Amino acid sequence: MVFCLFSSEPIGGKQATGKKNRMMQFSGFQKQFQVGMKDTLCKEPACCCFGFLCPCPSACMARMKVLKTRYPGQDAMQHYACCQGIFDGACCGLVGYCVAPFRDCPLVGLALESLCCHGLAVSSTRIFVMLEWQLATDPMDYQIIRFSNCMQGLACICEVLACIDDSFKEAAQIIQCLADLVYYATTGCMHAQTMAEMNYQGPWGNNMAIGSVGIPVKSLALQSPQPEPQPAQVVVPVATTVPLPGAPVAAATANAMPNPTTSATVVKTLPGQLPAVEMER
């Protein structure tokens, strides 16, 4: 019932354009996740509980799973970037620079990202999946995420009030505890949803429709039947002539026969007659 207080509508179109709002570009997609966030506890209980109890390891596992699924047969971690470039320039402007020294060791960068920016790490993995496989967010997912954000905002307000008045300290601690539980439950649902989708998709392109974002052109060529080449037909023009009225047919036929001594073709036209072809000697 609490979720009913929050909107299930996606972000508006004006906020979904531009490089800084790349994470909002999935608002026009039609396909859905195989498992909604509200159903993860029942359909993927192990992944959901693992994401709730072990947030940092689960965030690393999900990112590695997504990259291995997206780039099969390759060194998936060479495609790693901080938040996969989703939030570049959208937050503090320093996203990506903190893990730049660990570019040669992406596992260390991924561990730091999951530890220091856990919320961004989980969200960017999920958004990367949505962009690459053209998936839309379920309306209930919007309500769950907005409820979690609201709890974090309420906890922040209570902490500020507790700094001003000591009588708010206990209330602030309770609200902060509830907000943390809601937050980790939400990220646990995101982790389970992402893992379930990757298990369904399999290697890149197995269950994708033609035209998905980023699908290689060579894959399209392999999937589309190629027509067999047809031998070229050579058309040889044949000289024809139209006999004049009263002229023998044999003479007209003889005029149409090629002669080695012929140097040019002359077309003569009489008034009211079709063009006649003669060979100039």
Of the pLDDT bands very low, low, confident and very high (cuts 50, 70, 90), residue 81 is confident
Of the pLDDT bands very low, low, confident and very high (cuts 50, 70, 90), residue 83 is confident
Res 59: pLDDT: 95
Q: For residue 20, is pLDDT > 90?
A: no
One-letter amino acid of 46: A
- Return all residues near 15 (Cβ < 8 A) that are at least 6 apart: 21, 24
Share the mean pLDDT of the chain.
74
- Per-domain residue ranges for the chain? 29-138+187-218, 249-280
Report the interhelical angle of 169-201 vs 55-70 (nearest 10°): 20
Res 187: pLDDT: 95
Q: For residue 19, is pLDDT > 80?
A: no
Q: What is the pLDDT of residues 115-129, one digit of tens each?
A: 988 999 999 999 999
Q: What is the pLDDT of residues 38-55, one digit of tens each?
A: 999 999 999 999 999 999
Q: Tell me the β-bridge partners of 276.
A: 268
C-beta of residue 276 within 8 angstroms of C-beta of residue 267 = yes
pTM of the model: 0.66
Residue whose structure tokens are 């609490």: 2
- Write out the DSSP string of the chain: -GGGGS--PPPPGGGG-SGGGGGGGGGG--EE-SS-GGGHHHHSHHHHHHHHH-HHHHHHHHHHHHHHHHSTTS-GGGG--GGGGTTTTTSSS-TTTTTGGGTT-HHHHHHHHHHHSHHHHHHHHHHHHHHHTTEEPPHHHHHHHHHHHHHHHHHHHHHHHHHH-GGGHHHHHHHHHHHHHHHHHHHHHHHHHHHHHHHHH-STTTTPPTT-TT--HHHHHHHSPPPPPPPPPPPPP-----PPTT--HHHHHHHHS--TT--EEEEE--TTS--EEEEE-
- Reference 63, options 38, 46, 86, 40; nearest CA is 86
Of the pLDDT bands very low, low, confident and very high (cuts 50, 70, 90), residue 17 is very low
Half-sphere exposure in the Cβ direction for 135 (13 Å, CA): 23
Q: What is the pLDDT of residues 145-171, one digit of tens each?
A: 999 999 999 999 999 999 998 888 999
C-beta of residue 238 within 8 angstroms of C-beta of residue 231 = no
Res 54: pLDDT: 95
Res 5: pLDDT: 72
Q: What is the pLDDT of residues 196-250, one digit of tens each?
A: 999 998 776 555 443 344 433 333 333 434 455 566 565 555 555 555 555 554 4
> 190: exposed, middle or buried (C-beta count within 10 Å: 0-12, 13-18, 19+)?
buried
Res 100: pLDDT: 63
Res 98: pLDDT: 63
Distances (CA, A) of 37 to 34, 187, 203: 10, 10, 23
Percent of the chain with pLDDT over 90: 36
Of the pLDDT bands very low, low, confident and very high (cuts 50, 70, 90), residue 25 is low
